[in-house]
Amino acid sequence: MFLLEINLVERLRECLPAWEVMGWSTGKGNRDAAALVSVMFAAGALADVKEGAVGLAPGWSVLLSVKRGPAAAALLDTAISKVIEQLHNWVPGEAGGRKWGALKLARFAPPEFADGGLIGIELLFSTTGRYFGQE
């Protein structure tokens, strides 16, 4: 499940070349960048529970943040469009030894960080993967 981060980060780096895109677990990137995308596991739910298997639905946060300024709103609007175009209904493929379903935008909200001269938005995408237990 956590290996999905690599797929998400790579896809976002391709579509947002002017942004610093980093994963929470990999930690690669400059957190002081003027335009930052931070990808992290942020939520979880059970998609379904059956005898012998369970469907997990992890939520992946894509946090976009930019420094306040004349271009901030335009940067965010453009990035929001690109992120949704690239991730909503995209199938990330296999990660961690299992196939994952299409990502769906589950919610969006203002980020929870101290102002610090930044503005941003958090987009939460969910997917599903099946884990097998005892029969």
| The pLDDT of residue 115 is above 90 | no
In tens, the pLDDT along 36-47 reads: 999 999 999 988
Residue range 15-27: average pLDDT? 90
Task: Answer whether residue 34 shows pLDDT above 80.
Answer: yes
* CATH number for the domain harbouring residue 96: 3.30.2000.10
Average the pLDDT over 26-39 and give the result.
78
Find the domain containing 80 and state its range: 4-132
Confidence band of 101 (pLDDT split at 50, 70, 90)? very high
Express each pLDDT in 41-67 by its tens digit. 999 998 889 889 999 999 999 999 999
- Residue 16 tokens read as 């947002």
- Predicted confidence at residue 116, as pLDDT, reads 76
CB of 100 closer than 8 Å to CB of 4: yes
User: Mean pLDDT of all residues in the chain?
Assistant: 91
Q: What is the number of structural domains in the chain?
A: 1
| pLDDT of 112 | 81
Q: CA–CA separation, 96 vs 76, rounded Å?
A: 32
- Is the pLDDT assigned to residue 25 strictly greater than 90? no
Is residue 34 classed as helix, strand or coil in its secondary structure? coil
Structure confidence at residue 113 (pLDDT):
73
